[in-house]
């Protein structure tokens, strides 16, 4: 049970990074924007998951953050991908494409005897 939970969490963690990069690549986004996209896609359970991942991507130099103020609202931090982040995103998404094709071919194919 614990192992299953662990495996599932590991799988999701790697893929969430890919999703985060891809969301932050289209335009500068606030953590709130990221959260709503991920929630819409049913990828996260609690919102807190996003923050450590975002911080990790920042430490890797894949995303940058800057403060922006919209009208009367207090300043908010916006994240966007760096050049390295964009390269990483390309690599990761092509890895994901390959993996998903390979894996579904294994999972869905009947066992060969």
Least distance from another protein to the Cβ atom of residue 87, Å: 21
Which of 106-113's residues contact partners 24+ apart within 8 Å by CB, and which partners?
none
63 to each of 16, 45, 58, how far by Cα in Å?
14, 23, 5
Q: How many residues bind another protein (CB under 8 A)?
A: 26
**Contact status, residue 35 vs residue 50, Cβ threshold 8 Å:** yes
Is 86 an interacting residue with respect to another protein (CB under 8 A)? Answer: no
Residues 8-67 that bind another protein (CB under 8 A): 9-10, 13, 31-32, 35, 45-49, 51-55, 58-59, 65
Look up residue 87 and give its two tokens.
Answer: 């390269």
**Contact status, residue 34 vs residue 49, Cβ threshold 8 Å:** no
Piece of the chain touching another protein by CB under 8 A; list 20-28, 75-83, 89-97, 104-112: 75-83
Binding site for another protein (CB under 8 A): 2, 5-6, 9-10, 13, 31-32, 35, 45-49, 51-55, 58-59, 65, 74-77
């Amino acid at each position: 049970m614990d192992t299953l939970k662990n495996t599932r969490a590991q799988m999701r963690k790697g893929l969430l990074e890919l999703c985060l990069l891809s969301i932050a690549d289209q335009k500068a986004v606030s953590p709130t924007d990221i959260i709503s996209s991920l929630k819409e896609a049913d990828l996260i359970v609690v919102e807190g998951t996003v923050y450590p991942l975002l911080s990790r991507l920042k430490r890797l130099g894949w995303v940058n953050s800057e403060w922006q103020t919209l009208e009367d609202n207090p300043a908010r931090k916006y994240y966007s991908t760096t050049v390295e982040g964009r390269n990483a995103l390309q690599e990761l998404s092509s890895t994901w494409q390959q993996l998903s094709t390979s894996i579904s071919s294994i999972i869905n194919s009947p066992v060969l005897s």
